[in-house]
Structure 1
Amino acid sequence: MNERMPLPSARDGHPFPDLAHVRAVLFDFDGTLVDTERLIVESMMRLLEEEAPGRFRPEDVRRNLGLTLDAQLRLYFPGRTEEEYARLAARYREDHERRFAEGVRVFPGVPELLRALKEAGISAAVVTNRHRRTLEYGVHKLGLAPCFATLVAYQDVERHKPDPEPVRTALARLKVPPTYALMIGDQPEDRLAAQGAGVHFAWAGWSPLARTNADGDAPLLFSPHELLIALSRTREGGSSGRL
């Protein structure tokens, strides 16, 4: 057997797992497939400034982007009633849906990556804490919908990332065992959910937040193309699909 070439992730000091048997790649959405950091931060900061002027900074919001909206609101405004949290969430979503519709952008290289995975017979899925309404809008607007075998959104599970339930839900729908899957994300919640489900994980290093959050416990990819390289090198001779 020929010795394999070093994988791209070697530059971050963490060896890439053997992906020869990967049958599914699970992606976080925000900060992994689409560049929405500014849109989310602007919407949340508008709400925070209206409710608690001067108390929070954009950096505070960025630290919590991996949490669900409900968890973020309870963190910023502890002790409110359920009715108040529902009102705050509705105000955030009204502002964010407008910004999202106007400004959602896919990261460069992502469409090519998703098409290559589909051509190779590797299932792709989204596993996100985002609500289904804007998730479905985004994947259709950006032309990504045909690339995904399933979408797991906030409404699809009772427990959300960092709990592994969303990852397990995607695997069950795809009928893929955990050891045959890889998850890509930009937040600690993504890594914890993947680990809890027994799934390999790598950081979406094309996202600034992923490079900030990367903790050395998983490989760091610097472009979507690097994932294609890693998959193709470890699958040489092990799959009929091409990458």
Structure 2
Amino acid sequence: MKGVPTRAVLFDLDGTLIDSAPDLGAAADQMRTTRGLASYPLERYRPMAGAGARGMLGVAFGITPDAPEFDALREEFFVTYERCMFNTQAFDGVPPLIEALVARGLRWGVVTNKSKRFTEPLTQAMPLFASAGAVVSGDTTPHAKPHPEPLHEAARRLGIPSEHCIYVGDDERDIIAGRAAGMRTVAAAYGYMGAQADATRWEADALITSPGELLKLLDSA
């Protein structure tokens, strides 16, 4: 992680800062049970939580976005998720990590592909995000990750050049976006990578298996 001084840390949201898999899975599973289908355990949904509605509906109903009924099911999923998303909690180790970043005088923020329909009420409801200097959703800019523009937008909101930021995420598109934005990148291997993911192939600058390991990386920079 050697290079230009780090002045800010940007994070993906789901699977990196917050464990939303229980609520996402519960919404999809509720759709199953209301149709008379058997309930699935959370472990079945968790690996696909990073894919949002597409992943949850794929698990629950075995459909893909090109299915004719997908759009209607996706909106039903969104409405169902809105009713249960406030049970979401931060991953263990995230609150002390954020406290440590703030204590060091580092700015921080969020760049997620989650729609602001969900991102804004969720982050506003969680005290964790009170010190965030930027929250950029998937529809804040005309582009979503892996395009670098959302990351540049977050850096602009923080008033810090992109090259002085680190981006942390649990999906390959996070690393692609971070590299394209000129940021150093960290793969969060504790997130929702899925069974087929191999983060060592993403060409991130570093990989962490718990939130607290990020502080060790910063100390060694």
TM-score (norm 2): 0.78
Question: What's 1:78 paired with?
Answer: 66
Listed one character per residue, the Cα deviations across residues 52-111 of structure 1 (whole Å, up to 9, x for unaligned) are x89xx9899767654565799898141649xx72x433311111122212x201111111
Distance in 2 of aligned mates of 1:153 and 1:170: 10
Distance in 2 of aligned mates of 1:207 and 1:127: 15
Question: What's 1:3 paired with?
Answer: none
Question: What's 1:241 paired with?
Answer: none
Query: Residue 176 of structure 1: CA displacement?
Result: 2.1
| Aligned with 1:143 (options 115, 118, 127) | 127
Question: What's 2:107 paired with?
Answer: 123
Alignment of 1:64-103 (within 5 A): 65-67=49-51, 69=53, 76-78=64-66, 80=68, 85=71, 87-101=72-86, 103=87
Unaligned residue ranges in structure 1 (runs of 5+): 1-16, 235-243
**Please, which moves more after superposition, 165-174 or 135-144?**
135-144
What RMSD over aligned residues (CA atoms) do the two structures have, in Å? 3.3
TM-score (norm 1): 0.72
Listed one character per residue, the Cα deviations across residues 5-61 of structure 1 (whole Å, up to 9, x for unaligned) are xxxxxxxxxxxx21660111110000000011232234345557889x89xx98997
Query: Residue 127 of structure 1: CA displacement?
Result: 0.3
Q: What one-letter code is carried by the residue in structure 1 that aligns with 2:210?
A: S
Listed one character per residue, the Cα deviations across residues 153-183 of structure 1 (whole Å, up to 9, x for unaligned) are 1231111112222112112222322221111
Q: Which has the higher contact order (CA 8 A, sep 6+)?
A: 1
Equivalent residues, number? 212
Distance in 2 of aligned mates of 1:49 and 1:184: 36
Question: What's 1:21 paired with?
Answer: 5
Between the aligned residues of both structures, percent identity stands at 28
Aligned residue for 1:206, secondary structure, equals coil
Question: What's 1:225 paired with?
Answer: 212
Distance in 2 of aligned mates of 1:168 and 1:92: 30
Contact map agreement 1:24 1:124 (CA 8 A) in 2: yes
Summarize the Cα distance change of 1:146–1:59 in structure 2 as closer, same or farther, 3 Å threshold: closer
Listed one character per residue, the Cα deviations across residues 138-162 of structure 1 (whole Å, up to 9, x for unaligned) are 3233311222001001231111112
Distance in 1 of aligned mates of 2:183 and 2:56: 26
Q: What one-letter code is carried by the residue in structure 2 that aligns with 1:118?
A: V
Summarize the Cα distance change of 1:166–1:60 in structure 2 as closer, same or farther, 3 Å threshold: farther
Q: What one-letter code is carried by the residue in structure 1 that aligns with 2:153?
A: T
Contact map agreement 1:124 1:150 (CA 8 A) in 2: yes
